[in-house]
Amino acid sequence: MRDKYIELIREYIKAKPEYKTTLNEIKADVLTVGATEEEFDEAIRQITGADTSKLILEEPEEQTEKKPLIDPSSKAAKFANHAKHHIVAKKKHLAVTAALIIIALIVVVGLGGRGVPKIAINTSSVKIPITADGAIPLVYANIKTVDPNKIFPGTTKTTPLKVSGKSKKEILGFFPYWMLPKADDVDLATLTSISLFGLEVDGKGNIVTNGTNDDTTGGWGMWKDPKLDDFIAKAKDQNISVYLTLKCFDSGNIESIALSDTAQKNLIDNAMYLVNSKDLKGINIDFEYVGSPTQKVIDGFTKFITGLNTEMKRQIPDSVLTIDTYLVSGSEQDIFNIPAIAKNSDAFVIMGYDMHTPLGAAGPVAAMGGDTNIVTYVDNYLKQVDASKLILAVPYYGYDWPQTESTPSADMVKILPYAEIADQSQNLQLSWDATSETPYFTYTDNGQQRIVHYDNIRSLGIKYDFINNENLRGVGIWALGYDGQNQDLEQLLVDKFINQ
């Protein structure tokens, strides 16, 4: 038996205990992606201490047809990019959790009329990728909220950083909806652009305005809040361009948009209405597809981007369209046809982080060296796209793992914004990983040894030098405000990109 398979099965089963399914279904799923019956039985034994034959299960009253997100034969030996559509009945089942299955019932309602969000009811499952190192999803930080009150715990403001002049590079800060309560505390002095993150879209091209949780509707709440208008005005007063992020992390919805001219037209109409209604400068597309798309889906997504860019430039000639892409998208086929999209957009925002996440083993979040590293993957982009169209996004956060012999479950790992990390580590010994060129530190919490991997001015400075040396378009920041009242990260931006 393969220990890694057993470990992955065990940890994914434990990852989401609120999602219940039957033991037989879980077993069928893990066998589909290459595990053996013996490995599955061993994982169950390690979790429950019981033999699988002794577990009594209730069958669900209602169940939709299971549909694999990708062709299992494409990566039959890996726990990679595999998820299922599933709806579970009301009865509570005595069963083991399957992280290979994700359950969601999302009901969304929009506004009626041409060119504005329309009525939509969407019932679909949220797709979650499974990678070899247990990273779920590929960009975990984009959906993981943080508490802004921990970033700005008091009411006292520090003196804003004095910045003379503008950056020679684009400095794009992503402003997530959960930071809106502390918008007044966020210093914008070093930025050239901001993207408001973000409004969710469904498979028909509608803007999601009413749903079951903040993952889908938090952005709409921000959009309608008068405090956002004040924040936008503050940015414009400082000559900062403001974009709107349209996001979709549901592969089924992304496919529906890619394969439907009607959905594309609807989404483009909605996007232009939103941008014009607040006089914004551009749009950022964050569509995070998981799996192996067909060529038709890839071509359809390219067609959507082309149509959106054409309409943006028709209505607002100096508008900017940026596309968020995975670090690996320059070298592995996914939904992004990099050369084709490059001709019909202004820039790619390469998400150069989440190489390790809470759903995998501890390690560097944004490595410059090692098996998976920024340098190699960006070089793959540069072979296809001019450097002037590449923005490297960096993390203003880290992850806090327990140091255990096995991979910890997600609820044992915390995402920490830079402000919390700086406060927590001020009296601790910092260590440096020479391979990844990133810092980390360890500490003890209630007798448990823990480790935090993150980025600081030393590691970010190396990344900024790389951006300058490769003459990339600029840097993206996930996320704006995560540094709190600390000014060292802002000062680094000034030193690397403004006072050159």
Architecture of the domain whose range is 140-498? Alpha-Beta Barrel (3.20)
User: What's the predicted TM-score (pTM) here?
Assistant: 0.76
Residue 112 has pLDDT above 80, yes or no: no
pLDDT at 408: 81
Residue 296 contacts by C-beta under 8 Å, 6 or more apart in sequence?
258, 259
Lowest mean pLDDT among 44-58, 65-79, 198-212, 258-272: 65-79
**Please, what is the Cα angle at 94 between 132 and 99, to 5 degrees?**
15
pLDDT-based confidence at residue 1 (cuts at 50, 70, 90) = low
**Considering all CA atoms of the chain, what is the largest pairwise distance in Å, rounded to the nearest integer?**
71
Q: Which percentage of the chain shows pLDDT scores above 70?
A: 72
Q: Tell me phi and psi for residue 221, to 5 degrees.
A: -60, -40
Residue 169 tokens, joined? 């590079």
Q: Which percentage of the chain shows pLDDT scores above 90?
A: 63
pLDDT at 30: 56
Instruction: Name the residue with higher pLDDT: 160 or 370.
Output: 370
Instruction: Name the residue with higher pLDDT: 395 or 29.
Output: 395
Lowest mean pLDDT among 68-82, 161-175, 239-253, 324-338: 68-82
pLDDT at 160: 77
Nearest to 280 by CA among 247, 249, 322, 248: 322
Task: Taking residues 152-171, report their average pLDDT.
Answer: 82
Specify the length of the chain in residues. Answer: 500
Residue 479 has pLDDT above 70, yes or no: yes
- Measured from the Cβ of residue 431, the count of other Cβ atoms closer than 10 Å reads 12
pLDDT at 291: 86
- Cα R_g (the chain), whole angstroms: 23
Instruction: Name the residue with higher pLDDT: 37 or 393.
Output: 393
Task: Taking residues 134-145, report their average pLDDT.
Answer: 72
- Measured from the Cβ of residue 388, the count of other Cβ atoms closer than 10 Å reads 12
Residue 82 has pLDDT above 50, yes or no: no
pLDDT-based confidence at residue 313 (cuts at 50, 70, 90) = very high
Please state whether beta strands 448-453 and 438-445 pair in parallel, antiparallel, or not at all (unpaired): antiparallel
pLDDT-based confidence at residue 499 (cuts at 50, 70, 90) = confident
pLDDT-based confidence at residue 4 (cuts at 50, 70, 90) = low
The SS3 of residue 248 is: strand
Domain with CATH 3.20.20.80 in the chain: 140-498
